[in-house]
Amino acid sequence: MSKSSELAEEYGLARVGARPSLPSYLKQVWERRDFTLSLARYRIQSENERNRLGMAWVLLRPIFSACVYGLVFGFILAGSRPPNFVSFVVIGVFLLEFFNSSMNGGSKAIISNSSLVQSLPFPRMVLPLAKVLECLLNFMPTLLLMVAITTFNGARPNLQWLLFIPLIVLFTIFNTGVALIFARLTVHFRDLSQFIPFVSRMIFYTSGVFFDPSRILKNFPEWEPVYNWHPLHNVLSIARGILLPDYDIPWHFWGQFAIWAVVILVIGVVFFWKAEERYGRES
Amino acid sequence: MAERAEHTPMDGVEKDQPIVICDEVHVEYRTLSTGKRITPGSATGILQRGGRKLQTVHALKGVSFVARANESIGIIGTNGSGKSTLMRTITGLTPPSRGAVYAKSRPNLLGVGAALMSDLSGSRNIILGGLAMGLTREEIESKYDEIVEFTGLREFIDMPMRTYSSGMSARLKFGIATAAQHEILIVDEALSVGDRDFQKRSEARIREIREAAGTVFLVSHSMRSIRDTCNRTIWIEKGVLRADGDTKDVVKEYEKHK
């Protein structure tokens, strides 16, 4: 204890930049919800100002990638295409787009905003949260488009479709956790942001975007229980079960994915908060 | 430096009450020496983190001082002497590696610029900047007209910020940043922007803030604005506190040194 800290105590001065406890940190984050929301909305706007077609790109991007994957793998898989192939691929690509953009965006949330981090005080968790929110807002129109395309291909609206709401909630929770984890990791390991495209490609090819994994797993029955914990495979299977008449909802995946979502979110929040004091320095 | 005023109750700001205390503050930055993030194949770098060259820059080497209520403190020193680092440490943006900073409330840096988006209009940016500084939506709405008036950008307020001249965007930033009530305000060379008329207005604004409550830190290379606005000056050189005292004496000493 030096003279200064005694003086500080006498006059009730608090140490600047000390990491708040988790509950009060989360309270601060909640108090900044307006900022988080505006950051997400204005980013989308400013992104769209730059292109002539503006908001249309939110829809065009996943449509183009669905076309590419659909055509390429439609030919490669020729005989063993899963039923209702167009809807199958569209659901896979569109949902994965939400996950990938959250993970990518989250990983850059702190490092690409270092000047903001160094010039204004606010709980840093706002940045990855705003990013996920931005991805969610961008995802909404693609969700509608996805429903339109599947309806066009023979799916019929029914009450079960309401299950999409809890699915999107869980999916957003899961993506938030992933974004928070990567937001901190890239601060410590800059090079990781270069590695992330490979991670997302790996996830893309293993989660069954354009093939039915169960067909392959028939040859490796001992791996099936392990593979069934693949979180993105869970999401895609549930979504197809909800939307497509040719597929059943795998009910046990709900519980599994809910566990995934909650666990990843808790890990993400704690992991991100632990380094709150360091985001300004290591950049 | 530890002479104390009579013990006062915690609430209510008394003259001479300490507002900011810096206690042996050291700051060390660690950066990759190349400044580049990637070379081909560096994806393996995550496996051998120690292998990359991390350079340590010792920006502040044990700076201590006590700032009191109603003081307006100029911070001077040559480029790269650690002035901005010291300010960022006071605001808690750059945490000290050793030592500590204590403050009555969280000091505010006039650095709202980083939160703004150049593709959006001035009015959107006023909202965004205000939210970034921690104002509520209602507070921003009630201050909106005052901010626009102060910046004198009424006819350009719906145009994207990227169409503004540098002086115009500097005015917008200053207007947003000073809209909030600050108990502790840090101004980093903002006074040198804008035309003569705007400089006068911003100096007046700073004096207002000082009178309203607070302690103002002004980082500047302009000895004129330091002399005009500050009653105390701290001189930092290479991360070490060289002098601290009456503005007249410190500035004279600093100019002799140059």
- What angle in degrees, to the nearest 10, is found between the helix axes of B137-151 and B122-132? 130
State residue B12's pLDDT score: 46
The burial class, CB within 10 Å (0-12 / 13-18 / 19+), for A107 is buried
Per-residue pLDDT at B191: 54
pLDDT at B154 over 60: yes
pLDDT higher than 50, residue B5: no
* Inter-chain CB pairs, A–B, below 8 Å: 160
Phi, psi dihedral angles at A235 (to 5 degrees): -60, -50
Q: Do A119 and B114 touch (CB under 8 A)?
A: yes
Q: Looking at chain A, which runs of residues are DSSP E strands?
A: 14-15
DSSP for residue B53: -
And the tokens for A262? 């909650």
- The answer to whether B66 contacts A7, with C-beta atoms less than 8 Å apart, is yes
pLDDT tens for each residue of A20-37: 899 999 999 999 999 999
Q: How many helices (H) and strands (E) does chain A have?
A: 13, 1
Minimum mean pLDDT among A137-151, A168-182, A191-205, B179-193: which range? Answer: B179-193
The pLDDT mean for chain B works out to 78
Other C-beta atoms closer than 10 Å to the C-beta of A85 total 16
Binning pLDDT at 50, 70 and 90, where does residue A195 land?
A: confident
The dihedrals phi and psi of A45, each to the nearest 5 degrees, come to -60, -45
Contacts of B102 in chain A (CB under 8 A): 4-5, 8, 13-16
Instruction: Tell me: pLDDT of A168 over 70.
Output: yes
A191·B43 Cβ contact <8 A: yes
The answer to whether B43 contacts A194, with C-beta atoms less than 8 Å apart, is yes
Q: Are A90 and A150 in contact (CB under 8 A)?
A: yes
From residue A172, how far is each of A96, A179, B182, B234 by CA, in Å? 12, 10, 37, 50
A residues 136..155 contacting B (CB < 8 A):
none
Check: CB of residue A101 under 8 Å from CB of residue A135: yes
- SS3 state at A269: helix
**Interface residue A1 vs chain B (CB under 8 A):** no
What is the pLDDT at residue B53? Answer: 67
Amino acid at B107: P
Which CATH topology does B18-34+51-110+182-258 take? Rossmann fold (3.40.50)
Q: Supply the pLDDT for residue A35.
A: 93
**DSSP symbol at A277:** G
Stated as kind and residue range, the H or E segment containing A68 is helix A56-76
> Nearest-CA distance from A139 to chain B in Å?
22
pLDDT (0 to 100) of residue A9? 76
The residues, any chain, with a CB within 8 Å of residue A268's CB and separated by 6 or more, are A176, A177, A178, A179, A180, A181
| Cα torsion angle, B245, B14, B65, B87, sign | negative
* A78–chain B Cβ distance below 8 A for any pair: no
Residue A15, pLDDT score: 79
In the predicted structure, residue B233 carries a pLDDT above the cut 60? yes
What are the structure tokens assigned to A176, written together? Answer: 């938030």
A49 vs B23: CB contact, 8 Å cut-off? no
Name residue, tokens 């959250």: A102
Report the alpha-carbon distance of residue B91 to residue B95 in Å, rounded. 9
**H or E stretch at B225:** helix B223-229
Q: What's residue B40's pLDDT?
A: 53
At B98 the three-state DSSP class reads: strand
What is the secondary structure of A248-277 as a DSSP string? ---HHHHHHHHHHHHHHHHHHHHHHHHTGG
State residue B33's pLDDT score: 60
pLDDT exceeds cutoff 70 at A42: yes
- Output the CA angle A88-A92-A93, nearest 5 degrees: 120
Strand, coil or helix: B188: strand
Pairing between strand A14-15 and B108-109? unpaired
Residue A136: per-residue pLDDT: 95
Determine, for residues B132 and A17 on separate chains, whether the beta-carbon distance falls below 8 Å. Answer: no
Would you say how long chain A is, in residues? 283
Which chain A positions have a beta carbon within 8 Å of B15's beta carbon? none
CA distance A214 to chain B (A): 33
Kindly determine whether residue A7 and residue B90, on different chains, have CB atoms separated by under 8 Å: no
User: pLDDT of B14-25, one tens digit each?
Assistant: 567 888 888 888
By the CB < 8 Å criterion, does A52 face chain B? no
What's the token pair of residue A275? 């380094």
Q: Are the C-beta atoms of B195 and B214 separated by less than 8 Å?
A: no
Contact residues on chain A for B117, CB-CB shorter than 8 A: 42-43, 46
Cβ-defined contact of A42 to B117 (cutoff 8 Å): yes
d(CA B225, CA B222): 6
Mean pLDDT of chain A: 86
Torsion angle of C-alpha atoms B46, B49, B55, B57, degrees rounded to 10: 80
* pLDDT tens string A93-133: 889 989 999 999 999 999 888 888 877 888 999 999 999 99
Considering only residues B224 and B111, tell me which one the structure prediction assigns the higher pLDDT.
B224
A281 confidence band (pLDDT: 50, 70, 90): low
* Shortest CA gap B256–chain A (Å): 32
Say what the pLDDT of residue A1 is: 46
Domain ranges for chain B: 18-34+51-110+182-258, 112-177
**β strands within A173-277, DSSP E:** none
Of the candidates B14, B108, B109, the one whose C-alpha atom is nearest the C-alpha of residue B69 is: B14
User: B185 and chain A: CB distance < 8 Å anywhere?
Assistant: no
Condensed to tens digits (0 to 9), the pLDDT of residues B57-69 reads 888 888 888 988 8
Lowest pLDDT segment from A46-55, B49-58, B87-96, B199-208? B49-58
Partner-chain contact A121 B106, CB within 8 Å: yes
Q: What is the pLDDT of residue B9?
A: 38
Residue type, A38: S
Q: What is the CA radius of gyration of chain A?
A: 22
Structural element, H or E, at residue B177: helix B166-177
Q: With contact defined as beta carbons under 8 Å apart, do A185 and A192 qualify?
A: yes
State how far Cα A228 lies from the chain centre.
Answer: 20
Cβ-defined contact of A4 to B64 (cutoff 8 Å): yes
CA nearest to A111, candidates A267, A266, A278: A278
The per-residue pLDDT for A170 is 95
Phi, psi of B187 (to 5 degrees): -115, 120
Q: Does B124 touch chain A (CB under 8 A)?
A: yes
Instruction: Check residues A215 and A273 and name the one with the higher pLDDT.
Output: A273
Instruction: Read off the pLDDT band of A16 (50, 70, 90).
Output: confident
Mean pLDDT of A53-70: 81
- CA–CA separation, A174 vs A168, rounded Å? 10
